[in-house]
């Protein structure tokens, strides 16, 4: 997933989304990124101006938190390959910080244009942590090992390695594409049946109803969002389509985002009573399955509809599965935005955004 702050790199994120590549607005500043622990297999930062050693190394410790044990960080920036005093000072600070975090530098090289990079690897066991001369930065308390990163300040500690219910360290997920349908390492034993049912349910619904059974031109769809993704079954069922899916896990729902990443899918936490970190008109299709009943207990359905209108491209679709009562509440709001809508089987609403914009005295 591509990340960049709004202030400097907005065009890059917009270009990525236009190409049908996952991207969001985000920045490593004072708060944790909205991802679970141990999510990414590899993190890459080119022409990277992040001060990784700031605040005692909190920005790099945040990368360590979201990087899977054994995962890699590829860093390409001037301190890697320039040797004046200023860059050498930054490089030395990075060396000290990565060594204190037990990251191993597995490669350092320079290409034909004299641009350099270094590749670090996160440890897969506690042996290095235990053998450090100084316990700095310290390991995080076990009580802080929960996958909670919504409006949470950056930590100054090393996140603990993931373990199963018996205390055994997690193994690396199965290779792609087996990992998509195999048992995720982070799946609790008592959730295995629910996970399998969810996978079967979405493969059947997507095949029998969504693709071909509704008035959706899937050939025009590249960027998709599942607004309440659960285990990621909807995205998994679309895996053969030429598109990508942003899986959103609600902050007040069961935390399944680690399971989604274990499957080789991507996603983030979000609260639909707030705006989503993307530009207007960046998604081709938004999918919602029994989301609105929960969200509208905390905010107005019109607020959610307006946000959907903001992030959906003209000509894009909203596919809502919900009770007929909730669909009938959403339908007039979409009509007020000049959308067209159709209802199928008394539980599916397909809305299509038009090219209408207010003119003259319209408000």
Please give the mean pLDDT across all residues of the chain: 93
Q: How far apart are CA 198 and CA 202, in angstroms?
A: 6
8 Å CB contact between 122 and 64: yes
8 Å CB contact between 116 and 81: yes
- The whole-number average pLDDT for the span 1-21 is 78
The pLDDT tens digits of the residues spanning 114-140 come to 999 999 999 999 999 999 999 999 999
| Residue 142 pLDDT exceeds 90 | no
Residue 8: the pLDDT is: 61
CB burial string 78-101: b at 16+ within 10 A, e below: bbbbeeeeeeeebbebbeebbebb
Give CA 352 to chain center in angstroms. 25
The pLDDT tens digits of the residues spanning 243-295 come to 999 999 999 999 999 999 999 999 999 999 999 999 899 999 999 999 998 89
The pLDDT tens digits of the residues spanning 14-49 come to 888 888 889 998 888 899 999 999 999 999 998 887
| Residue 362 pLDDT exceeds 60 | no
Residue 118: the pLDDT is: 96
How does residue 336 score in pLDDT terms, banded at 50, 70 and 90? very high
3-class secondary structure, 255: coil
């Amino acid at each position: 997933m591509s990340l960049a702050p709004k202030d400097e790199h907005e065009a890059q994120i917009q270009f990525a989304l236009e190409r049908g590549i996952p991207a969001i607005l985000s920045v490593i500043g004072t708060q944790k990124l909205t991802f679970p622990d141990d999510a990414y297999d590899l993190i890459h930062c080119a022409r990277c101006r992040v001060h990784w050693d700031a605040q005692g190394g909190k920005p790099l410790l945040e990368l360590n938190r979201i990087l899977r044990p054994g995962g890699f960080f590829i860093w390409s920036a001037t301190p890697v390959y320039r040797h004046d005093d200023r860059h050498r000072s930054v490089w030395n600070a990075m060396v000290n910080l990565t060594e204190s975090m037990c990251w191993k530098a597995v490669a350092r090289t320079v290409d034909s244009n004299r641009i350099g990079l270094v590749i670090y690897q996160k440890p897969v066991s506690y042996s290095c942590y235990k053998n450090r001369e100084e316990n700095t930065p310290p390991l995080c308390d076990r009580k802080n090992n929960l996958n909670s990163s919504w409006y949470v300040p950056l930590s100054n500690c090393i996140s603990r390695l993931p373990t199963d219910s018996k205390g055994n360290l997690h193994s690396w997920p199965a290779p792609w594409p087996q990992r998509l349908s195999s048992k995720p390492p982070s799946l609790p034993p008592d959730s295995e049946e629910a996970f399998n049912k969810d996978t079967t349910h979405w493969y059947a619904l997507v095949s029998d109803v969504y693709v071909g059974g509704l008035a959706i031109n899937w050939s025009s769809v590249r960027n998709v969002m599942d607004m309440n993704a659960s285990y990621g079954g909807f995205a998994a069922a679309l895996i053969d389509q030429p598109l990508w899916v942003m899986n959103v896990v609600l902050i007040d729902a069961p935390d399944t985002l680690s399971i989604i990443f274990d499957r080789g899918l991507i996603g983030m936490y979000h609260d639909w009573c707030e705006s989503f970190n993307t530009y207007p008109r960046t998604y081709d299709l938004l999918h919602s399955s029994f989301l609105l009943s929960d969200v509208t207990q905390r905010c107005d359905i019109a607020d959610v509809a307006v946000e959907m209108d903001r992030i959906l491209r003209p000509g894009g679709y909203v596919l809502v599965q919900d009770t007929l009562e909730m669909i009938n509440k959403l339908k007039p709001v979409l009509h007020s935005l000049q959308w067209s809508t159709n209802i199928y089987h008394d539980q599916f609403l397909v809305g299509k955004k038009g090219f209408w914009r207010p003119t003259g005295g319209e408000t």
